[in-house]
Amino acid sequence: MIIAIDGPAAAGKGTLARRLAAHYFLALLDTGLLYRAVGYKVLGAGFDPEDADRATEIAEALVPKDLESPNLRNDEIAQAASKVSAVPGVRAALLAFQQDFAHSPPDGPDGAMKGAVLDGRDIGTVVCPDADAKLFMTASVEVRAERRLKELLERNVAAIYARVLQDMKERDARDSGRGVAPLVPDHDALQIDTSDLDADAVFAAALEFIDR
């Protein structure tokens, strides 16, 4: 079983992906970490995330251990990830990584996994168009900015709502407007607006859809 979960930042993809993976005993891949890892390494090397040649070189050399860095979750890296994700060479380099994971998931602690859950921005449309179930999460940009601000403050990261909101609007525009694999729901994806739903309600809706 392959479950594809797409959507913009702070729409609730990660929370749902973790719960579905545990429920169905599936391997889990947060594909955004791939792009964050590339963005992190690009910045660490002193390069511009929009330098296509440099970003592609780094993406082609990415290894699974790069996803373990504790520094991948801050907003600066999120912005860099959004920029490198618009580079065709980066997307091509990471596509095989994601597809291999989906179709040959690693074993879990109790043995072979029964499939995989991937969350990202183009899983259902590009990475796994043959996924058994596709979900597209969304929420208003204001709600998502509030969620991200709360998350940052809980991690003791200085942030203000206006800046988080502006950054999120810019990221949404890049993700939805890029020429390669834009952020759009596939025709057969269940779309869930999480603006006014808690995690349990979202999980229940996803389970009903997948089981059906």
* DSSP assigned state of 38: H
pLDDT at 190: 97
pLDDT of residue 178: 80
Which of the pair, 197 or 174, is modelled with greater confidence? 197
Class of domain 2-196: alpha beta
When pLDDT is cut at 50, 70 and 90, the band that residue 33 belongs to is: very high
For the chain, the structural domain boundaries read: 2-196
Greater model confidence, 139 or 152: 139
The reported pLDDT for the residue numbered 109 is 67
Q: What confidence tens digit (pLDDT) does each residue in 38-54 have?
A: 999 999 999 999 999 99
Q: Per-residue pLDDT for 128 more than 90? A: yes
Neighbours of 57 (CB within 10 A): 18
Cβ proximity of 24 and 115 under 8 Å? yes
Contact 128, 2 (CB under 8 A): yes
Which amino acid is residue 69, in one-letter code? S
Could you read off the pLDDT of 146-165 as tens digits, one per residue? 999 998 899 888 889 999 99
Mean pLDDT over 125-139 rounds to 96
Check residue 5 and give left, alpha or beta (phi > 0: left; psi -120 to 50: alpha).
beta
Is 38:44 a contact under the CB 8 Å cutoff? no
**53 three-state secondary structure:** helix
Q: Is the pLDDT of residue 25 over 90?
A: yes
Q: Is residue 211's pLDDT more than 90?
A: yes
